[in-house]
Amino acid sequence: MLNSISPSLQRPRLRCCDASSCRSAGSGALLKALETARSNAGEAAEPLDIEPVGCLRLCSQGPLVALDRPEGSSLFGGLSAPLAGALVDAGSGTDNNSSLNDHAIDLEQPFFALQHSVVLEGCGQVNPESIDSAIAHGSYEQLRHCLQELSAADVREQIRRSGLRGRGGAGYPTGLKWDTVALQPPGPRFVVCNADEGDPGAFMDRSVMEGDPHRLLEGLAIAAYAVGADRGFIYVRAEYPLAIERLRLALRQARQRNILGNNIFGSQFDLRIDIRVGAGAYVCGEETALMQSIQGRRGSPRPRPPFPAQKGLWGAPTLINNVETLAAVPAILREGGDWYGAIGTDSSRGTKVFALSGAVVNTGLVEVPMGTSLRTVVETMGGGVPNGAGVKAVQTGGPSGGCIPAALLDTPVDYESLRALGSMMGSGGMIVIAESMAMPELARHFMRFNVNESCGKCLPCRAGTVQLEQLLTKFVAGNAQASDLEQLEQLCQMVQTTSLCGLGQAAPNPVLSTLKYFRQEYKTGCEPATAGPQPWA
């Protein structure tokens, strides 16, 4: 059934980025203008497809439009509606292109050339609102293959072999997690996609959902089959309206085609997937809080064990994976676990999507093999800091992560290397910090985030982050005492070791990592020694 729909890629095609970032730059008007320009060109012109697509990666140059012609693809940025005519002419091959020259983006530059698309292979290619477009690009082919030809254990075997680890931040081996859920005593099971991407500066998952939602549904359905679940949820943050809209549409389309529902592809496998929209709490990205929220309760974390794999939604074994993890699954099954495992490093296999932002020339989305150095991502691909200023540090892992100083930019990006430096992979936000940024202020920025997002259940996170923010304010203002530095470190250690969930345990990381590499700036924030208060302890 799926093969009968053949891709219409032979015709020239304009792909207009219709994801959040380009939309905010005006791609909605541009898309309409393109369609108008095409009808104005009339029947005589060469047939031209115009399709809205997901993220075309280089967000800072949006709105972006890609042009596919038999002779190759090209990309244009910084566009606006008045250029629609020129774009349509270029698409039809009837244009001298002059007005577009200033807008051409070199696809050979490292930002594009060094990308290795696996999770994002369909993002920017498929029309995210069309299931036919997704199917033409191979969506649901692997689900059918799994249901008709592989046992659940075979599927899990491929995931184990791939070495895939959780892309939400913690890096737990995905195959092991799937096995743990699958091997629980018989009974109902649930699968959950954690799409509550909340780290400031992280937009990897949003791009997948906005750009290729059927890939996520397919990954989730394969996961459900592999662990024996017949019910799934996608928990999306409310701040992602376009992602929610497209997921809902994709779900409706998949149900209509009986790709979701009962007896999928003629098998015994049934699956119902529902969307749950968050209510604005960052902590609901924490898996135990997320499950509470799905069940309609206040999103507060609870102690683990029991882990969700043992006791999750309504007490049943529950598999929770992040968007990027699940979106990697179809490609892994298509090419084989060994193929995926050959990409990346020994301990961190495959590719990772990063959202590059901050003081960097090329802001956008990059997918690179694990083990690529920070320097390659930030300087070679990202183009470094604008106006040639120096990189001071790279912040990874959001409010739970840390700052890696410029001197360590040759660090390979993998779970263990980043953790050894006091940061973490996190979900993939990568914020470039310029030399002008004061580190105590940066640390306070993230601490404020944690103050606002602490759920308030456990004391160290609820009250400790408040005190930490106030302490940091003294360093920012330059009126801290030497004893404040000692108190800051001890309180960081206390919040880290005693908080209930990952949010609190990781809340001090931005402080600790900047203390580790930029301690001098904290010392500068202290008043000259006076006969002031006694040492803290």
Name which of 24 and 497 has its Cβ closer to other proteins: 497
288 binds other proteins (CB under 8 A): no
β partners of residue 51:
15
Question: Is there binding between residue 497 and other proteins (CB under 8 A)?
Answer: yes
Tell whether residue 536 is a contact of other proteins (CB under 8 A): yes
Exactly one of 87, 281, 356, 512 binds other proteins (CB under 8 A); which one? Answer: 281
Q: Kindly tell me which of 255 and 314 has the beta carbon lying closer to other proteins.
A: 314
Sign of the torsion angle spanned by Cα atoms 180, 347, 429, 403 = positive
498 in contact with other proteins (CB under 8 A):
yes
Which pair of tokens denotes residue 10?
């032979």
CB 514 within 8 A of CB 521: yes
For 132-157, give one letter per residue: b (16+ CB within 10 A) or e: bbbbbbbbbbbbbbbbeebebeebbb
When asked if residue 176 is in the footprint of other proteins (CB under 8 A), the reply is: no
Instruction: Report if residue 481 touches other proteins, rule: CB under 8 A.
Output: no
* Shorter beta-carbon distance to other proteins: residue 395 or 454: 454
Contact residue for other proteins among 100, 254, 277, 283 (CB under 8 A): 283
CB of 488 to other proteins, least distance (A): 11
Indicate the SS3 state at residue 376.
helix
* Sole binder of other proteins in the list 10, 436, 479, 490 (CB under 8 A): 490
Positions 100 through 139 that interact with other proteins (CB under 8 A): none
Minimum distance, C-beta of residue 277 to other proteins, in the bound complex (Å):
18
Do strands 391-396 and 351-358 pair parallel, antiparallel, or not at all (unpaired)?
unpaired
**Region of 124-132, 239-247, 294-302, 313-321 interacting with other proteins (CB under 8 A):** 294-302
Residue 464 within binding range of other proteins, rule CB under 8 A: yes
Binding mask 444-463 for other proteins (x = CB under 8 A): -------xxxxxxxxxx-xx
Q: Least distance to other proteins from the beta carbon of 470, Å? A: 7
User: Min. distance of Cβ 308 from other proteins in angstroms?
Assistant: 16
Whole-angstrom distance, CA of residue 193 vs CA of residue 290: 10
Looking at the Cβ atoms of 300 and 363, the one nearer to other proteins is: 300
Closest CB to other proteins among residues 253, 505: 505
466 binds other proteins (CB under 8 A): yes
Residue 199's nearest CA partner among 357, 418, 68, 363 is 357
What are residue 86's phi and psi, to 5 degrees?
A: -65, -35
Q: Does 298 participate in binding other proteins (rule CB under 8 A)?
A: yes
Contacts of 279 (CB under 8 A, 6+ apart): 238, 293, 299
Rg (CA), the chain: 24
Torsion of CA 283, 287, 291, 292, to 10 degrees: -40
Residue 299 near residue 293, CB atoms below 8 Å: yes
Choose the stretch contacting other proteins; rule: CB under 8 A; options: 5-13, 36-44, 231-239, 484-492.
484-492
Q: Are 140 and 214 in contact (CB under 8 A)?
A: yes
Residue choice 442, 472, 500, 515 for contact with other proteins (CB under 8 A): 500
Distance CA 50, CA 38 (A): 9
The smaller minimum CB distance to other proteins, of residues 248 and 448, is found at 448
Query: Which region among 196-204, 262-270, 492-500, 513-521 touches other proteins (by CB under 8 A)?
Result: 492-500
The four Cα atoms 472, 473, 475, 479 give a dihedral, to 10 degrees, of -140
Q: Which residues bind other proteins (CB under 8 A)?
A: 281, 283, 298, 300, 302-303, 451-460, 462-467, 470, 487, 490-491, 494, 497-500, 536
